[in-house]
Chain A
Amino acid sequence: MKKTFRQSMAWLHTWTGLLLGWVLFAIMVTGTATYFRHEITRWMQPEMPTHAPDRATVNAGLTRLQEIASKAGRWGVELPDARSGAASIWWQEGLGRQGFKREVLPALDQAGPTPQVRDTRGGEFFYRFHFQLQLPHPWGRYLAGAAAMFMFMALISGIVTHRQFFKDFFAFRPGKNNPRTALDLHNVTAVLALPFYLLISYSALVIFMHMYLPWAEKVLPEEKEAGSRPKAAQMAGDKASSEQSASGVPDLAMILRLYDKAQSQWTTGAGPGVRRLEISSRNSPEATVAFSRFDEGGVGMQRAAKLEFNGITGEAVEQKAERKGIVTAIHSVIYGLHLARFAGTGLRWGFFFMGMMGSVLVATGLVLWTLKRRNRHLSAGRVPFGHWLVERLNIATITGLFIAIGTLFWANRLLPLSLAGRGDWEVDCFLYAWGFALLHACVRPVGKAWREQLILVAFLFSGLPLLDAFTVGTYLRSSVRAGQWAHEAFDVAVLVLGLVAWTAAVRLAGRKVKQSGKSPTRPTASQAQDEPASEVA
C-alpha cells in the first residue's frame, strides 16, 4: 500500500473527496441557500401578505377557521416571526394526512379580494433537496449521510495532507493557468472555516443518527414507546365523539382570553410571546387549547415552551416537566448548531458566506483532481475515460447546478399562475435544466463547456433582478415602502452571484488564450516542482 501515513492520508483525501464530491457540492449549495429559506420563499411568493404576531391576527385566524372549518377536530393558528412574514391557519378533519389542510391568512388591512398566492415550493425546495436530493424516501437521506461521512473523512485526511497550509496561512496567489491558484483557494477556504465544516458534517450525521444506526432502538424498545404519543387513538376519539356533543366547542371569546393570558405571562419577562396555538379534540368534552412560544434564543434546539388549557372551562392544565439528560442536551446543541435557527441577520449572512466558502472548497477540490492529472494525460496523448467522466461531471455539477437553480427562479416568475401543479412544474424545470447542462457538458470541449455554462449562469442570475422588477414590480415597491429588505437583498445577492460568474467566464477566456500559445504536450515540470511533494496525490 502507501508508504507513509501522510501518503495514505493523501490517497484517502483524494478519493473520498472525489467519489461523492458532486453530491456534496449540491448538498452544500442548497444547504447554504437554506439559511435564507424563509426569505427565498417570500421572494418566490411576493403576493404573500404580512401579519404582526398579535391578537388581531389570532382573531382573524380563528374567525376564518370558524367560517371554513367549523366541524374540524383540530385547529391551529401559526403566527409569523420577523422572517416568515405571513400567518397561516391549519385544520384537520378526520384521520390521517388527507384531512390536514393549511392556508395562508389573507391580509388584514386590505379590502376586496386578496390576490392568489402562487403555488411554489419556495425555500422549502432547497431545504428538502439539501438532505433528500429529490430521491425516493430513504435513499436520499442515506446518500446525504454517506456524503456527510465522506466529507468528514476528507476533512480529517485533508488536515494531514495539506499541513502545508499553516505555513501559507492567508496566502492566495492569483495566477492564470496555474493549479497553484486553485490549490490556494482550496486551502484558504478550508482552513478559515474548518470548525464550521467539521461541525456541519458531524452534526449532519448526528441529526439522522436514528436512521443511520437504527439498532439502538431495537435494543432499547421501551425508550421508543415512552417517546411516542398515542396520536391516532386521540384523534379516533375526536371522530367518535364529534356527533354526540356539539355543545362542547370552545368559543372564540374564551380562546382569545386564554391567548391574552399566555401572551402576558410570557412577555412580562421581556421574552418572546405566543408563536402558535392549537385546539385539539374540539368537538369533545376533552377539548384543549394549547399555546407554544417563539424560540427563546440560545444555540440548542429546544422544545418550545407550552401552556395548555381546558377547552371548555378555560382552566390551566398542569404540564409534566420533562427530564432532560446530558445526552439529550448535547444532541440538541449539535442539532441546533446545524440548523442555525438562533442566528440573527448578521450571523446568518456569516453562515451563508461560510456555506459559500464550503461550496468553493468542494468545487476547487473537484477541479484540482482534473488539473493535476490533465497535463499527464495530455503528454501521454490520450485521455482515459475516467478522466473524461470526471471533467464532464465537474462541469455539469458546478455550473450545471447553478443553471438549474437559476432556471427554477425564472420558472417561478414566468410560469402562468393558473397552471395546475405549478410547484411541481418549477421543480421539473430545475431538473430538466440540470439534465441539459449534463448533456451540454458531454458534447462540448471542456474549456468551451465551462465558459458557455458560466455565461449562462451569469445571464440567468444577473437577469433575475430585472425579471423580478418587470413581473412583480408592484410587490417590489410595496416591500420597499414597508421597509422589508429581504426581497431586495435577494435581488442584490443573485446579481452579485451573476457578476462572479461573468468574472469567472472572462478570466477563463483569458486563460484559454495563454494556454493555446503553449504546446499542450509539453510536460510542466516547473509546476510540479512548485508544489510540495505531498500535494501531488
Chain B
Amino acid sequence: MNRHLKLLERRLEFDQIMNGVLLTLIFPSLACLAVAMPVHHRRVFGREIAPAGRTVWRLLGAGGLLAALGLVLTSRQWTVDLVAWTVMLAVAGLVLTFLLTYVPRVLPAVGLMALSLAPALAWWG
C-alpha cells in the first residue's frame, strides 16, 4: 500500500470521526428539545413538565446544536462538515422519533450514552 492511499484513508477516517462526533452531539440535543415539549416529556418521564423545566431543556438542546455547529465551523473542511451537520440532524431526528414512539423510557439512557461517546470519539480522533 503506497503513501498516497494511506493519506486517502486517513482523510476518510477523519470524516468518519467528525460524523460520529456530530451524531453523538446532535442526538442528545434533539432529545432535549423533544422532552421540552409537554407531549414527549410525559411519555419519557411519566410526569408533567414544569414551565421552568421547558426553558432549561430548550436551552440545553439549542446549546448542544450550536456547540456542534461551532465544532463544524472550526473544522478544516467546514463546508463538508456543515453538510454533515444537516444530514446528521435528519438521521438523529428519525432515530429519535422512533425511540419516542416505541421505547420512550430508554431515551434518557440512550441520550447520555451518546453524549459520553462524543468526547471519547473526539479524543480518539
- A298 at the binding interface (Cβ < 8 Å): yes
- B96 at the binding interface (Cβ < 8 Å): yes
What's the nearest-Cβ distance from chain B to residue A486, in Å?
Answer: 13
- A490 at the binding interface (Cβ < 8 Å): no
The secondary-structure label for the interface of chain A is loop
A342 and chain B: residue at smallest CB distance: B80
A191 and chain B: residue at smallest CB distance: B93
Q: Which residues of B contact A466 (CB under 8 A)?
A: none
Q: Pick out which of these stretches binds chain B: A164-172, A207-215, A252-260.
A: A164-172
Assess the B80–A297 pair: CB atoms within 8 A. Answer: yes
Assess the B94–A192 pair: CB atoms within 8 A. Answer: yes
Q: Which residues of B contact A488 (CB under 8 A)?
A: none
Assess the B101–A173 pair: CB atoms within 8 A. Answer: yes
What's the nearest-Cβ distance from chain A to residue B24, in Å?
Answer: 12
- A367 at the binding interface (Cβ < 8 Å): no
What's the nearest-Cβ distance from chain B to residue A426, in Å?
Answer: 31
In the complex, which of the residues B1, B80, B83, B93 has the most CB atoms of chain A within 10 Å of its own CB atom?
B83
Cross-chain contact of B19 among A171, A300, A344, A357 (Cβ < 8 A): A344
Assess the A53–B34 pair: CB atoms within 8 A. Answer: no
Q: Which residues of B contact A353 (CB under 8 A)?
A: 90-91, 94
Q: Pick out which of these stretches binds chain B: A131-139, A266-274, A473-481.
A: A266-274
- A345 at the binding interface (Cβ < 8 Å): yes
Assess the B87–A267 pair: CB atoms within 8 A. Answer: no
- Please measure, in the bound complex, the distance between the C-alpha atom of A169 and the C-alpha atom of B30, giving whole angstroms: 11
Interface residues of A in 190-239 (CB under 8 A from B): 192-193, 195-196
Q: Which residues of B contact A345 (CB under 8 A)?
A: 12, 15-16
Assess the A347–B19 pair: CB atoms within 8 A. Answer: yes
Assess the A195–B86 pair: CB atoms within 8 A. Answer: yes
**Contact digits for B1-38, partner A, Cβ 8 Å, 1 yes 0 no:** 11111011101100110011000000000100110010
Q: Which residues of B contact A173 (CB under 8 A)?
A: 101
- B110 at the binding interface (Cβ < 8 Å): no
- Please measure, in the bound complex, the distance between the C-alpha atom of A258 and the C-alpha atom of B7, giving whole angstroms: 22
- B117 at the binding interface (Cβ < 8 Å): no
- A337 at the binding interface (Cβ < 8 Å): yes
Assess the B97–A170 pair: CB atoms within 8 A. Answer: yes
- B74 at the binding interface (Cβ < 8 Å): no
Size bracket of the A interface: 35 or more
Assess the A52–B2 pair: CB atoms within 8 A. Answer: yes
In the complex, which of the residues B15, B33, B40 has the most CB atoms of chain A within 10 Å of its own CB atom?
B15
Size of chain B's interface in residues, with CB distance under 8 A? 38
Assess the A52–B5 pair: CB atoms within 8 A. Answer: yes
Assess the A298–B79 pair: CB atoms within 8 A. Answer: yes
Cross-chain contact of B2 among A54, A81, A192, A350 (Cβ < 8 A): A54
Q: Which residues of A contact B40 (CB under 8 A)?
A: 170-171
Q: Which residues of A contact B100 (CB under 8 A)?
A: 170-172
**Contact digits for A341-357, partner B, Cβ 8 Å, 1 yes 0 no:** 01111110011011001
- B39 at the binding interface (Cβ < 8 Å): yes
- Please measure, in the bound complex, the distance between the C-alpha atom of A351 and the C-alpha atom of B87, giving whole angstroms: 7
Assess the A337–B34 pair: CB atoms within 8 A. Answer: no
- A316 at the binding interface (Cβ < 8 Å): no
What's the nearest-Cβ distance from chain B to residue A493, in Å?
Answer: 16
- A174 at the binding interface (Cβ < 8 Å): yes
Assess the B80–A298 pair: CB atoms within 8 A. Answer: yes
Interface residues of A in 354-392 (CB under 8 A from B): 354, 357
Assess the A357–B90 pair: CB atoms within 8 A. Answer: yes
Q: Which residues of B contact A346 (CB under 8 A)?
A: 15-16, 19-20, 84
- A82 at the binding interface (Cβ < 8 Å): yes
- B115 at the binding interface (Cβ < 8 Å): no
**Contact digits for B54-86, partner A, Cβ 8 Å, 1 yes 0 no:** 000000000000000000000001011001101
Cross-chain contact of B4 among A169, A174, A267 (Cβ < 8 A): A267
| 22 CB < 8 A contacts A-B | A82-B5, A82-B9, A82-B12, A169-B34, A170-B30, A170-B100, A171-B97, A171-B100, A172-B98, A188-B93, A192-B94, A267-B7, A271-B7, A272-B7, A294-B8, A297-B77, A300-B79, A347-B15, A350-B84, A350-B88, A350-B91, A357-B94
7 interchain residue pairs of minimum CB distance: A344-B15, A350-B87, A346-B19, A192-B93, A193-B90, A299-B79, A172-B101
Besides A170-B37, A188-B97, A347-B83, 6 new A-B residue pairs in contact (Cβ under 8 A), listed by A number = A170-B30, A192-B89, A294-B8, A337-B83, A344-B19, A350-B84
